Amino acid sequence: MVTVVSDDSISICLYDPDDRLGALDDALADCGFRIDRTRTAEGVETAVTGDVDCLVLGDYDGSDWKGVLDSVSDSGVATVVYTGREGSRSIQRPLAAGVDDVVRVPPRYGSLLRRRIEAATTEGSTFDSDGEQFRSLLRSYPHTLFVKDTDSRFANITTQTAGDYGYDRASLIGKTDFEILPAELAAENYEEEQAIIGGDRPLLDKVEHYVDDDGNDQWVSTTKVPRYDDDGNVVGIVGGTQYITPAKKQEQLLADLHEASQRLARAKTKADVATTAVEIAAETEPFAHAEVALDTGSGLAPTATSGDISQLFADHRETFEAVFATGVADDVDGTSCRVVPIGEYGVLGYHQSGTPASEAFVDRMVSVFTANVEAALDRAERERQLTETTRRIEEFATLGSHELRNKLQVVVGNVTDAHEEYDDPRLERSVATLDRIDRLLEQLLQLARTGSVPHQREWVDVENAATAAWRTIDNRGTTLSVDSTVTVDANRSALVGMFEFLLENVVDHAGDEAVATVGSLPDRPGFYVEDDGRGIPSDPDLFEAAYTTGDSDTGYGLYVTQAVVDAHDWDIDVTESGDGGARFEITSVDERAEY
């Protein structure tokens, strides 16, 4: 039983064994309470036998307030646990242990802290009656809120709701939706509410759309739940409606902006991106007028405008340039013009329309839009750089390869003449090597021009292609073994060239007297080239043009091999052969049995 005391005579015993509640002690004293602070359980027992109205205990690790509560359980003194812990358990656990109240108000909020302590030490409610609270709710609540009976008649309603329909509260009591809404909507509501009452189930957050008398789209979110009497019987419904038109319009604006911004992906150049951006702005709130100025390398220049002339840039050039230099958006004083950066590329200036959207939402929309524009400009710049690089590579490859091939033909002619004159086998092999170099130059030229090897294909016998490649290689004691009876759909020249590179790789790296084997894969379409040599390192850059093993090998052979594989839509994997050497498996191949 809590002792009844007057507010101005409350005496508090503050149990603080670890001296942690100094700030609370000061705050309670400032509130006008009489404080007896003790650090011992014995001090508590002594205090509660005297003139003490409330015992306040701290809640922290190691605190023994449960034991103290047991010792004063018969004293009639109000008990309060003061906690600074977060979470509901810090409130629920002391209450379950039998304390009168738990307080978590920070000491700096003195007035509130006083009211909380007073509530624990005095009897009687300091709040209005339930009836007065309910009447106050109906008068003050700024949204639609209503109570209906089982026949869907209004039993009560907020002042705001009545005013929305042009009535006062008293006029609507007893009426139904049929008296205030269009017949179709009223019938829909009635059937919906009867289903709620009959089925004892709530209707939560139903979004409803309608068009007002001025032709404007409007949205509301409605919740209706069954209303029960003290015996648990359904006696009607309680419902509420919130006006969500601004949120729905903002949602629609963002969706429209996202859909329109997809057009930016189709813009090829930075000028195209700028033009598309102002076109989108002209169609979208909050942009009443927009201009994009891009960096030309020597300063900003107006690139696109949603009007006839670039008036914003002309009138506010200093602001445009300052925003570009700092990367910080700014408003033009005395105008509705705002200028925002577009990354490293330029700025967007716009006049804001008379949109009802909040300033924070407008900032969010503009941020999303400029991020999309910046991404499109990034893409356009990469395309420009790639196009320029590709053009230069093509020019270099064309000029270089033609020059090399012209000189190569002179060398081939000289070596051929020398072979006919001296009949030296070494010169015959040199002619074959020079022919191989000529084919390599042709393939590299094709790669530079089109990014692929020649696309003409035919059925090519794997054994014949591998044997033809082997004849062009100085095998230096290496042996070739071919175990294949299939033909593949391939460009013959490219396939022979690929075998040349792979077999030469065996000669260069497998060691003297190694055996190179070309064969068909037994379990799936494809073929392999392997050796019994030292193996090959596992490296993700193995097929890159710049790959090198550290000696004179530049790796271009495997690079061209990958290009041939890609051009045929094949796959290539590098594994270890059964003898510990390197094994290249080419799969996803169209093949047929030898014919």
Q: What is the pLDDT of residue 10?
A: 87
Q: Are 305 and 435 in the same domain?
A: yes
Angle between helix axes 359-422 and 270-283 (nearest 10 degrees) is: 160
Q: State the Cα–Cα distance between residues 147 and 236, nearest whole angstrom.
A: 8
Q: State the Cα–Cα distance between residues 292 and 450, nearest whole angstrom.
A: 36
Q: Are 275 and 197 in the same domain?
A: no
Q: What is the pLDDT of residue 119?
A: 85
DSSP SS3 for 249 = helix
Per the structure, the count of domains in the chain is 4
Interval 544-571: pLDDT, tens = 655 555 444 445 678 778 888 888 889 9
Longest CA–CA span in the chain (Å) reads 133
Q: State the Cα–Cα distance between residues 489 and 508, nearest whole angstrom.
A: 29
Contact in structure between 372 and 343 (CB atoms under 8 Å):
no
Interval 174-226: pLDDT, tens = 999 999 888 888 899 999 999 999 988 899 988 888 777 788 888 888 999 99
Higher pLDDT, 240 or 540: 240
Q: State the Cα–Cα distance between residues 404 and 410, nearest whole angstrom.
A: 10
Contact in structure between 120 and 54 (CB atoms under 8 Å):
yes
Q: Are 432 and 390 in the same domain?
A: yes
Where does the pLDDT of residue 593 fall: very low under 50, low under 70, confident under 90, or very high at 90 and above? low
Interval 523-536: pLDDT, tens = 889 999 999 888 87
Contact in structure between 473 and 507 (CB atoms under 8 Å):
yes
Contact in structure between 5 and 53 (CB atoms under 8 Å):
yes
Among 189, 211, 243, where does a domain finish?
243
Interval 388-398: pLDDT, tens = 776 766 666 66
Q: Give Cα separations from 386 to 270, 377, 389, 391, 566 (angstroms).
A: 14, 14, 5, 8, 20
- With respect to residue 467, please indicate whether it lies within any of the assigned structural domains: yes
Structure tokens at 128: 């209005």
Q: Are 511 and 587 in the same domain?
A: yes
Number of Cβ within 10 Å of residue 174's Cβ equals 11
**Listed range (17-31, 373-387, 443-457) with the worst mean pLDDT:** 443-457
- With respect to residue 1, please indicate whether it lies within any of the assigned structural domains: no
25: pLDDT strictly greater than 70: yes
292: pLDDT strictly greater than 70: yes
3-state SS string for 206-233: EEEEEECCCCCEEEEEEEEEEEECCCCC
- With respect to residue 69, please indicate whether it lies within any of the assigned structural domains: yes
Interval 511-526: pLDDT, tens = 778 899 999 998 889 9
Higher pLDDT, 274 or 545: 274
Residue 179 is classified by DSSP as G
- Print the domain residue range for 93: 7-121
Q: What is the pLDDT of residue 125?
A: 58
Q: Are 306 and 368 in the same domain?
A: yes
Contact in structure between 245 and 221 (CB atoms under 8 Å):
no
Q: What is the pLDDT of residue 5?
A: 42
Q: Are 446 and 456 in the same domain?
A: no
Q: Are 255 and 235 in the same domain?
A: no
Where does the pLDDT of residue 325 fall: very low under 50, low under 70, confident under 90, or very high at 90 and above? very high
Contacts of the segment 568-571: beta carbons below 8 A, 24+ positions apart: 568/457, 568/489, 568/490, 568/491, 568/494, 570/526
- With respect to residue 82, please indicate whether it lies within any of the assigned structural domains: yes
63: pLDDT strictly greater than 70: no
**Listed range (259-263, 266-270, 274-278, 555-559) with the worst mean pLDDT:** 555-559
Q: What is the pLDDT of residue 552?
A: 45
Q: What is the pLDDT of residue 4?
A: 38
Q: What is the pLDDT of residue 440?
A: 67
Higher pLDDT, 488 or 427: 488
Pairing of the two strands 591-593 and 54-59: unpaired
3: pLDDT strictly greater than 70: no
What residues have CB less than 8 Å from 49, skipping those under 6 apart? Answer: 75
Mean pLDDT estimate for the chain: 83
Nearest Cα to 342, choosing from 289, 400, 291?
291
Average pLDDT over residues 277-286: 82
Q: Are 330 and 438 in the same domain?
A: yes
What residues have CB less than 8 Å from 48, skipping those under 6 apart? Answer: 13, 55, 72, 75, 77
Where does the pLDDT of residue 449 fall: very low under 50, low under 70, confident under 90, or very high at 90 and above? low
594: pLDDT strictly greater than 60: no
**Listed range (386-390, 448-452, 490-494) with the worst mean pLDDT:** 448-452
Interval 134-187: pLDDT, tens = 889 888 888 889 999 999 999 999 998 888 888 888 899 999 999 988 888 889
DSSP SS3 for 235 = strand
- With respect to residue 142, please indicate whether it lies within any of the assigned structural domains: yes
Q: What is the CATH number of the domain that holds 559?
A: 3.30.565.10
Interval 328-363: pLDDT, tens = 999 888 788 889 999 999 999 988 776 555 777 888
Q: What is the CATH number of the domain that holds 205?
A: 3.30.450.20
447: pLDDT strictly greater than 70: no
Q: What is the pLDDT of residue 17?
A: 85
What residues have CB less than 8 Å from 120, skipping those under 6 apart? Answer: 2, 54, 78, 79, 80, 100, 101, 103
Among 243, 272, 290, where does a domain finish?
243
Q: State the Cα–Cα distance between residues 558 and 502, nearest whole angstrom.
A: 7
- With respect to residue 156, please indicate whether it lies within any of the assigned structural domains: yes
Of the ranges 160-169, 230-239, 274-283, 392-401, the best mean pLDDT one: 230-239
Q: Is 75 exposed, middle or buried (0-12, 13-18, 19+ CB in 10 A)?
A: middle
- For the chain, percent of residues with pLDDT exceeding 90: 29
Higher pLDDT, 260 or 280: 280
- The phi, psi pair for 320, rounded to 5°, reads -55, -50
Over its C-alpha atoms, the chain yields an Rg (Å, rounded) of 43
Structure tokens at 134: 């309910």
DSSP SS3 for 404 = helix
Place of tokens 């799969």: 587
- DSSP for 532-557 reads SSS-----TTTTSTT---SSS---HH
The one-letter code for the residue type at 29 is A
Q: State the Cα–Cα distance between residues 66 and 91, nearest whole angstrom.
A: 14
Q: Are 350 and 472 in the same domain?
A: no
Pairing of the two strands 515-520 and 526-531: antiparallel
Q: State the Cα–Cα distance between residues 104 and 58, nearest whole angstrom.
A: 10
Residue 98 is classified by DSSP as T
Contact in structure between 528 and 572 (CB atoms under 8 Å):
no
Q: What is the pLDDT of residue 7?
A: 46
Contact in structure between 331 and 337 (CB atoms under 8 Å):
yes
Q: Are 433 and 568 in the same domain?
A: no
Among 199, 220, 243, where does a domain finish?
243
Q: Are 140 and 205 in the same domain?
A: yes
Nearest Cα to 374, choosing from 338, 339, 345?
345
Q: Are 70 and 92 in the same domain?
A: yes
Q: What is the pLDDT of residue 399?
A: 61
Q: Does the pTM of the predicted model rise above 0.85?
A: no
Distance of CA 209 to the CA centre of its chain: 31
Q: Give Cα separations from 286 to 246, 283, 491 (angstroms).
A: 14, 9, 58
Q: State the Cα–Cα distance between residues 385 and 368, nearest whole angstrom.
A: 26
- With respect to residue 40, please indicate whether it lies within any of the assigned structural domains: yes
Of the ranges 62-71, 208-217, 298-307, the best mean pLDDT one: 298-307
Q: What is the CATH number of the domain that holds 38?
A: 3.40.50.2300
Q: Is 124 exposed, middle or buried (0-12, 13-18, 19+ CB in 10 A)?
A: exposed
